[in-house]
């Protein structure tokens, strides 16, 4: 079957256009300030701008968005000028002062590493093991706050504990990195886990809109 040359050129132009519309993330990439209702808005660099937020707090303040998320609800104006009330706990995240923050367990945490695998730390509440109901101190709260590391996988939009077990799974689609990592001893894996996160992001960069 013959394929007309003009059709071939058409698809080549589409491919080039698609490649030119996105760039691999680097530290120079400029995220637009605003609120991400969804993970998709983050990956499309298409947040709801500060100008659409209804608030008496000055939008010129550098912590404007941080202050907004101290409230249970945020009010925004849609494209028709109608006010919409959004529960803060349901928002994916926001960008402020070139930094991106992700909602995890109703707290917003800064992404320390941005890539196909994003890295962040968050404070989680843990219980201090089993408590005997007959213990005189049974009614005393024995929970504690713990700072832990997490990965946001932009391919699946899932948040995972940043540990060796999960990294072994995440690396499986890159056979070279996976074999290198699996060839290490358990303690060695723990020591280089962050290195392999960066190696994966370098080989499989997160592509974002060019503009």
3-state secondary structure of 120: strand
DSSP bridge partners of 21:
none
Q: Is the pLDDT of residue 83 over 50?
A: yes
Q: What average pLDDT does the segment 175-191 reach?
A: 96
Which range of 1-5, 14-18, 120-124, 143-147 scores highest in mean pLDDT? It is 120-124
Q: What average pLDDT does the segment 62-79 reach?
A: 93
| Rounded Cα distance, 48 and 77, in Å | 10
pLDDT of residue 81: 84
pLDDT of residue 109: 97
Q: What average pLDDT does the segment 14-33 reach?
A: 77
Residue pLDDT, tens place only, 107-156: 999 999 999 999 999 998 877 655 555 555 555 656 788 899 999 999 99
In this structure, of 39-43, 79-83, 89-93, 197-201, the range with the lowest mean pLDDT score is 79-83
| Rounded Cα distance, 74 and 54, in Å | 8
| Rounded Cα distance, 65 and 34, in Å | 8
pLDDT of residue 145: 85
What is the phi/psi pair of residue 130, to 5°? -70, 140
- Residues near 41 by beta carbon (within 8 Å), at least 6 away in sequence: 47, 48, 92
- 15-53 burial string, b = 16+ CB within 10 Å, else e? eeeeeeeebebeeeeebebbbbbebebbeebebbebebb
Q: With the CA atoms of 196, 202, 207 and 209 taken in that order, what torsion angle do they form, in degrees rounded to the nearest 10?
A: 120
What is the phi/psi pair of residue 35, to 5°? -105, 135
| Rounded Cα distance, 75 and 8, in Å | 49
CB-CB contact of 100 with 114 (8 Å)? yes
Q: Is the pLDDT of residue 85 over 60?
A: yes
pLDDT of residue 178: 98
Strands, sheet with 143-153, edge to edge from the N-terminal-most edge strand: 34-36, 93-96, 99-104, 107-113, 117-127, 143-153, 158-161
CB-CB contact of 146 with 126 (8 Å)? yes
pLDDT of residue 4: 45
Q: What average pLDDT does the segment 57-73 reach?
A: 94
**Residue 58 host element (H or E):** none
In this structure, of 13-17, 18-22, 26-30, 134-138, the range with the lowest mean pLDDT score is 13-17
Instruction: Extract the tokens encoding 133.
Output: 């109901």
| Rounded Cα distance, 204 and 102, in Å | 21
Please report which confidence band the pLDDT of residue 17 belongs to, taking 50, 70 and 90 as the band edges. Answer: very low
Residue pLDDT, tens place only, 142-159: 678 889 999 999 999 999
């Amino acid at each position: 079957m013959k394929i007309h040359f003009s059709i071939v050129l058409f698809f080549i132009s589409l491919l080039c256009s698609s490649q030119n519309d996105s760039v691999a993330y680097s530290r120079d990439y400029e995220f637009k300030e605003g609120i991400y209702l969804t993970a998709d808005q983050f990956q499309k660099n298409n947040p709801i701008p500060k100008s659409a937020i209804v608030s008496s707090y000055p939008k010129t303040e550098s912590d404007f968005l941080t202050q907004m998320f101290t409230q249970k609800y945020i009010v925004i104006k849609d494209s028709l000028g109608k006010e919409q009330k959004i529960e803060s706990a349901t928002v994916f995240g926001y960008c402020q002062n070139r930094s991106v923050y992700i909602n995890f367990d109703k707290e917003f945490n800064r992404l320390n590493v941005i890539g196909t695998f994003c890295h962040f730390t968050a404070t989680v509440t843990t219980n201090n093991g089993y408590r005997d109901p007959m213990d005189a101190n049974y009614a005393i709260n024995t929970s504690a706050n713990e700072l832990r590391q997490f990965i946001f996988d932009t391919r699946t939009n899932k948040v995972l504990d940043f540990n060796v077990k999960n990294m072994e799974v995440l690396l499986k689609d890159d056979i070279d990195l996976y074999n290198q990592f699996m060839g290490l001893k358990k303690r060695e894996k723990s020591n280089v886990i962050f290195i392999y996160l960066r190696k994966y992001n370098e080989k499989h960069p997160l592509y974002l809109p060019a503009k």
